[in-house]
Amino acid sequence: MATTGIMNGTLLGVYVGSTLIAHATEGSISLSMDTRDATTKGSSGNRELLESTRSGSISVSALYADDAAYGVNDLMTVFSNRTSVTVKFSTEVSGDDYWSATAYLTSLEVSAGMEDSATFSASFEITGAITFSTVA
């Protein structure tokens, strides 16, 4: 059954394929569309635009655990192999909406402060179409 009301952010996760990135503390998707200039002499000095290419990224921040079910070690393999992966931003709750796309891992950062939990962040740049659908 679909989530009702204002969604608790804890429900949304970043998945590579069908596997949730472990120990995540934050996830996000950012979509944008470029525009192209369509201003003419007849535009009366006003800029006019038309649509152009769409793009997007999905990012995640998580606590670092060397033995995570899917974590830095797995993402390092993706990065090293320079392969595209299917990335999903979803609750995986039946009836909820989700975003999915093929993407490349373009950034992987590990941080370790003194007497603090080690963390990592990863960013994926979308290539091709972005799917917005409903979890079956």
Residue 11 in any domain: the answer is no
Residue-range definition of the domain harbouring residue 81? 28-134
Q: Which of 93, 90, 99, 102 is nearest to 128 (CA)?
A: 102
Domain count, the chain: 1
Residue 23 in any domain: the answer is no
pLDDT computed for residue 24 by the predictor? 98
Residue 122 in any domain: the answer is yes
The 10s digit of each residue's pLDDT in 64-121 is: 999 999 999 999 999 999 999 999 999 999 999 999 999 999 999 999 999 999 999 9
Residue 8 in any domain: the answer is no
Q: Give the CATH number, domain containing residue 52.
A: 2.40.30
Residue 80 in any domain: the answer is yes
Entry pTM = 0.92
Residue 21 in any domain: the answer is no
**Structural contact between residues 103 and 84, judged by C-beta atoms closer than 8 angstroms:** yes
Residue 117 in any domain: the answer is yes
- Confidence at 53, pLDDT banded by 50, 70, 90: very high
**Structural contact between residues 68 and 97, judged by C-beta atoms closer than 8 angstroms:** no
